[in-house]
Structure 1
Amino acid sequence: MSLLSGHCLCGAVTVSFEPLKDALGACHCEMCRRWTGSAFLEIDAKPGSLTYDGPVKSYASSDWAERAWCDSCGSTLWYHLTLPGHDYYSLSAGLVENAGGLPLKTEIYIDVKPDGYAFAGDHEIKTKAEVEAGFAAFVEGTKP
């Protein structure tokens, strides 16, 4: 897969990464909706491939993750899993031109999304319980 590059709204933060897979994801959890003002549309980065420059700030939004933004313009940058031994970043699809040209393939927290949101197309969906069971496995160390 080819390298994607992008930047925040003001251009102060630049990013470059290789997508983990040929896919966009959408998260409807309450934290993502409060953080972005909508669903978080994201691209997972291949471990070790993310490089960035600029005024990045982050907030520990849970015991296992942080969310980052540009300290100049406030643009959403990424969700980062902070558990030891994991190098997982979900970057905001809005950072790269045309969302990298990637198709939407996964939509999570589907059962808590606002009624007015509807993404077209055939893609995998997961409920809050399904997603949180996967996170619990990461936190307990039972998944790689």
Structure 2
Amino acid sequence: MDALTRTWFKFCCRVTNVSHRENLEMSQTGSCMCAAVRFTITVPVTETAACHCRMCRKWSGGVFMALQLPADAVHFDNADAIRTFVSSPWAERAFCGICGSNLFYRVTAEGPMQGEIHMALGVLDDPSGVVLSTELFIDKKPDGFGFAQDTHRMTEAEVMAMFDAPE
């Protein structure tokens, strides 16, 4: 794994390594607005990232705040209600086919991040204890808003280099 990818893992939505029993005790749940799609995250999450790229702003109506999760850490109920949209050569975005709630962004490009799910923070039943740690595409952030706390900030070039970097 190259240095940029390690930086991504280090600063963007770390997932803590704990035992399976502890995972079950610390799992988080969530759903879309109509609750047709429910899910359980089986690993504890402590951090979220905010993406300021144009696609995320268009998709979320503002900044997209997400939890970075391995694909096998999310279990969906009624996955048949999930619809996807291929938004770029490296990712797809998922939403509820009934109410339209944004659910997650999934990396589809080959490489160490393939399959990762970036679950929307807003669909968690209880996001308490999850703190903002990273801002992506900071050079694309609209002038009209910002976060009060200091975060690790990555430019468009830094983020894109993670997708282009050799394994």
Given the two structures, how large is their TM-score scaled by the length of structure 1? Answer: 0.88
Normalized per residue, the structure richer in helix is: 2
Counterpart position of 2:94: 68
Counterpart position of 1:31: 55
Stretch of structure 1 that moved more, 116-125 or 97-106: 97-106
In 1, are the aligned partners of 2:96 and 2:102 still within 8 Å (CA)? yes
Provide, for residues 106-137 of structure 1, a one-character-per-residue CA deviation record: whole Å limited to 9, x for no partner.
00011111111111112101111111111212
Counterpart position of 1:6: 30
Structure showing greater radius of gyration is 2
- Which aligned pairs between 1:129-140 and structure 2 lie closer than 5 A? 129-137=157-165
Alignment pair present for 1:96 and 2:120: no
Q: Aligned-pair distance for 1:53? A: 2.2
Provide, for residues 57-94 of structure 1, a one-character-per-residue CA deviation record: whole Å limited to 9, x for no partner.
00111112100000111100000011346230000001
Q: Distance in 2 between matches of 1:9 and 1:3?
A: 20
Sequence identity, in percent? 37
Given the two structures, how large is their TM-score scaled by the length of structure 2? Answer: 0.77
Q: Distance in 2 between matches of 1:74 and 1:106?
A: 27
Q: Distance in 1 between matches of 2:102 and 2:48?
A: 16
Counterpart position of 1:108: 136
Q: Distance in 1 between matches of 2:126 and 2:141?
A: 24
RMSD between superposed Cα atoms in Å = 1.7
In 2, are the aligned partners of 1:27 and 1:41 still within 8 Å (CA)? yes
| Count of residue correspondences | 139
Of 115, 118, 137 in structure 1, the residue corresponding to residue 146 of structure 2 is: 118
Unaligned runs of 5+ in 1: none
